[in-house]
Chains A and B, each alone.
Chain A
């Protein structure tokens, strides 16, 4: 933009501020609601300033659990979510970096075909293949297990694609220099490719951690025990009540707790994340 009119700036700031407000206000309300007692929240007139029940609400949410509808304390749910999100992120990084390494650096029959088969899985997220996947997981007796929560979400092509694109930018001479330096395929991978991929790995970690953390449909389907729920499904269950008022203040406390780990991951890995997507260091 060449023009510099004050009105343009004012309008732009107004629109952006409005956008931030639209996104941030519900979050703010959730945080406020988690600090009041049940009566205030249900009362219909939602205060916009913090109340005095924060400690009590969070303590109950994490360690005690709500009333009959959501008997499991959130602490366990957080742990479940954490394990499955980490499992999905780490598992996905492992299989995608290895498959990309195979596809880029090894010449084997049907290499292109293998790549395209991997590529096609992009069009088949869990939601699309949910029935067959459920059947497989059930047959393998993985319902209500961490393996069942993690494994089906690991298999997809996004990571492979990301690593493939990165590997293709690594100069061939590095591989050749390694060969002359006496490094075999494993050494080249461990000593050269892996250290160079650190930023890409962290970018993928952030994406996959949040993807795993936010999973709703799949955990809802395959977990029947309350102790195996993830926090995202747990929130929902707190609100489904019969003949009883939902404990909104606890649900809101849980929602705020559910937001924290992804926010933390983004904050701590933001620099690496951006570098991984933008910059290539060679």
Chain B
């Protein structure tokens, strides 16, 4: 049991490429932290630095009150689950799990107890004599988990562990991992590029972009109050609609709100926050859209529309906006026809406003 603290951690590769540009955060004891971001944002590199597989250029990584910068991976008291599982192909499931313990010269009866226990938890008891190639993807995944569990480490590290599984199994394993982590109450850091995985698993969500942290927090807080346009478009699917607004449009739209006045900015509205309605909402926003495409998922339908050159602020004069596409989510399967003109409205409290460079959220 331990917390993990990163203090101004940086990584510069020989050749000058800066992969990690100063990262600070803390994962409390027993918490589940998810690092999420697009590929190439440095999240895997960061995880591998915590594991000790990559060197740290500067800064400190602290696991359970001990700075581990110079400590070998084996001595950091961590266990890692790899994306391709990295099971030893020539060893049986049992030996795959026991290998790390044997290397630590644990007595054989103790190893057996731990492996049997892990196998029972993961429902692998009948497969202990098989080789990894005789297992399905999900079973291999569980063996990889078992290899981590038997070690009873201070910290679990997961490097996109579910991305090699098919969609159905991924959801099942996602729930399994969460249950397992709750049960063992082991501090965990989990890397994924799937925002849905990130939202569902995390106690703390760390959104990363090109080597920096964009936002850290509770997943719901991040969803409700994204700090930047990057976070706004990355968290939530389909992504938040972002529309640039000129200064005068902002003035007219948000008249009376001093924090929003003056400069140009970016307006964000989540597809799920729209309602298709002929009625406008006072203080809210209304968009006239021409329906271009419809996606029916069953329980919900996504309407892709193009904006008709104007944003109708209800409280103030409408200003002109550059044309762009807007996604509107509506419940059920009843949708407008393609080519139809619709009005999508959203209330004031569901609007997000960002500075023009997208780096800053403006509270409304």
A177 within 8 A of partner (CB):
yes
Binds A, one of B74-82, B171-179, B217-225, B317-325: B74-82
Q: Is the CB of B53 within 8 A of A176?
A: yes
- Decide: A196 near B99, CB < 8 A? Known: A176-B82, A179-B73: no
Q: Is the CB of A179 within 8 A of B53?
A: yes
- List residues of B (81-104) whose CB comes within 8 Å of A's CBs: 82-90, 99-100, 103-104
| Separation of A171 and B132 alpha carbons in the complex (Å) | 15
Cross-interface CB contact of A174 among B53, B74, B88, B147, cutoff 8 Å: B88
A171, A182, A183, most chain B CB atoms within 10 A: A182
Closest residue of chain A to B98, judged by CB?
A181
Q: Is the CB of B90 within 8 A of A180?
A: no
A177, A196, A282, most chain B CB atoms within 10 A: A177
Q: Is the CB of B84 within 8 A of A181?
A: no
Q: Is the CB of A196 within 8 A of B103?
A: no
Across-interface contacts of A181 in B (CB, < 8 A): 74, 99-100, 103, 147
B72 within 8 A of partner (CB):
yes
| Separation of A174 and B99 alpha carbons in the complex (Å) | 13
Across-interface contacts of A127 in B (CB, < 8 A): none
Q: How big is chain A's contact interface, by range? A: 10 to 19
A173, A195, A281, A282, most chain B CB atoms within 10 A: A173
Binary A-proximity of B34-74 (CB < 8 A = 1, otherwise 0): 00000000000000000111000000000000000000111
- Decide: A180 near B73, CB < 8 A? Known: A187-B103, A195-B90, A282-B89: yes
Across-interface contacts of A180 in B (CB, < 8 A): 51-53, 73-74, 78-80, 100
- List residues of A (171-194) whose CB comes within 8 Å of B's CBs: 171, 173-174, 176-177, 179-183, 187, 191-192
Across-interface contacts of B86 in A (CB, < 8 A): 171, 173-174, 176-177
Q: Is the CB of A177 within 8 A of B80?
A: yes
Q: Is the CB of B103 within 8 A of A182?
A: yes
Q: How many A-B residue pairs have CB under 8 A?
A: 59
Closest residue of chain B to A180, judged by CB?
B73
B52, B72, B89, B133, most chain A CB atoms within 10 A: B89
CB distance from B106 to the nearest CB of A (A): 10
Closest residue of chain B to A282, judged by CB?
B89
Cross-interface CB contact of A192 among B72, B74, B88, cutoff 8 Å: B88
- Decide: A196 near B89, CB < 8 A? Known: A181-B99, A182-B103, A182-B104: yes
A176, A181, A187, A191, most chain B CB atoms within 10 A: A181
- List residues of B (165-194) whose CB comes within 8 Å of A's CBs: none
Cross-interface CB contact of A183 among B87, B103, B147, cutoff 8 Å: B103
- Decide: A179 near B72, CB < 8 A? Known: A195-B90, A196-B89, A282-B89: yes
CB distance from B228 to the nearest CB of A (A): 33
CB distance from A103 to the nearest CB of B (A): 20
| Separation of A174 and B89 alpha carbons in the complex (Å) | 9
Across-interface contacts of B74 in A (CB, < 8 A): 179-183
Q: Is the interface of A mostly helix, strand, loop or mixed?
A: helix
CB distance from B250 to the nearest CB of A (A): 50
- List residues of A (59-102) whose CB comes within 8 Å of B's CBs: none
Closest residue of chain A to B79, judged by CB?
A180
| Separation of A182 and B79 alpha carbons in the complex (Å) | 11
| Separation of A223 and B194 alpha carbons in the complex (Å) | 70
| Separation of A281 and B89 alpha carbons in the complex (Å) | 8
CB distance from B95 to the nearest CB of A (A): 10
Across-interface contacts of B90 in A (CB, < 8 A): 192, 195-196
B51, B52, B100, B104, most chain A CB atoms within 10 A: B100
Binary B-proximity of A13-42 (CB < 8 A = 1, otherwise 0): 000000000000000000000000000000
Across-interface contacts of B80 in A (CB, < 8 A): 176-177, 180
Across-interface contacts of B52 in A (CB, < 8 A): 179-180
B75, B82, B86, B87, most chain A CB atoms within 10 A: B86
CB distance from A266 to the nearest CB of B (A): 25
Across-interface contacts of B147 in A (CB, < 8 A): 177, 181
Closest residue of chain A to B74, judged by CB?
A182
CB distance from A253 to the nearest CB of B (A): 44
- Decide: A191 near B99, CB < 8 A? Known: A173-B86, A196-B89: yes
- List residues of A (188-214) whose CB comes within 8 Å of B's CBs: 191-192, 195-196
| Separation of A195 and B74 alpha carbons in the complex (Å) | 22
| Separation of A64 and B260 alpha carbons in the complex (Å) | 109
| A-B pairs, 6 with minimum CB distance | A181-B100, A173-B86, A182-B74, A182-B103, A177-B86, A195-B90
Can you sample 16 A-B contacts with CB below 8 Å?
A171-B84, A173-B82, A173-B86, A174-B88, A176-B51, A177-B80, A177-B87, A179-B73, A179-B74, A180-B51, A180-B52, A180-B79, A181-B74, A181-B99, A181-B147, A182-B74
Give the interface of B toward A (CB within 8 A): 51-53, 72-75, 78-80, 82-90, 99-100, 103-104, 133, 147
A174-B88, A179-B52, A183-B103 known; 19 new pairs, CB 8 Å cut-off, are: A171-B86, A176-B51, A176-B53, A176-B73, A176-B80, A176-B86, A180-B51, A180-B52, A180-B53, A180-B73, A181-B103, A182-B100, A182-B104, A183-B99, A191-B88, A191-B99, A192-B88, A195-B90, A282-B89
